[in-house]
Amino acid sequence: MGENWQPRFMSIIIVSDVFGITPALLTLKDKLGANTIIDPYEGKSMDFINEAEAYSCFITTVGLDRYVSKVVGRVESLDSQTTLIGFSVGASAIWRLSTNKVNHIIKQAFCFYGSQIRNYTNIEPCCKINLVFPKNESHFDVSKLKEVLTTKHNVITTQVEYLHGFMNYYSSNFNQVGYEQHVALLCSNTS
């Protein structure tokens, strides 16, 4: 690929949280005009009862490192520019891969409540990343993390009034108003 390489079209890829593919995530995919969903479970519907069950399954069967590798593999196979949208562990996976030199493929990323980002603050993203943090997290100070990340090149941070999971219909923290606001924001920034 030379200096004059131009992508053929723009794609949108959703990187799921520990719930994987759900009917609500498929609805979001359609609303955003996304091309595909990358999930931890090879597209299999898991039908988890709650977040604790979903998290336990993710940790014991996949884990963040393997999920990052899976997402990297999918992104590296692309031949056109893409926008990545990730939720929770999906957001953390996007953050981790953002140091890869596939920035000619990744146009931008939107990462919602990627709590594991706190363990990788040394990362310097090669592409534009919008980090959306919740009002608070039980394991760390969101404001302090936001303060550290705001100084980085290519990083935009926002802290919202909603809780971790506000975009996931199956989360106990789902918030319809926050969901609708951020779907509109995503639509306006990915079209």
Residue 1 has pLDDT above 50, yes or no: no
Tokens of 34: 């996304």
* DSSP line for 64-113: HHHHHHHHHHHHHT--S-EEEEEETHHHHHHHHHTTSS-TTTEEEEEEE-
Q: Is 40 exposed, middle or buried (0-12, 13-18, 19+ CB in 10 A)?
A: buried
Global pTM? 0.92
DSSP classification of residue 50: S
Q: How do the domains of the chain map onto residue ranges?
A: 11-190
Residue 7 has pLDDT above 70, yes or no: no
**pLDDT bucket at 188, cuts 50 / 70 / 90:** very high
Residue 153 has pLDDT above 50, yes or no: yes
Indicate the CATH number of 11-190 among 3.40.50.10860, 3.40.50.12280, 1.20.1250.20, 3.40.50.1820.
3.40.50.1820
CA atoms within 13 A on the CB side of 38: 25
When the pLDDT of each residue in the chain is averaged and rounded to a whole number, the result is 92
Residue 6 has pLDDT above 90, yes or no: no
Q: Cβ distance 94 to 125 under 8 Å?
A: no
> pLDDT tens digits, residue range 111-152?
999 999 999 999 999 999 999 999 999 999 999 999 999 999
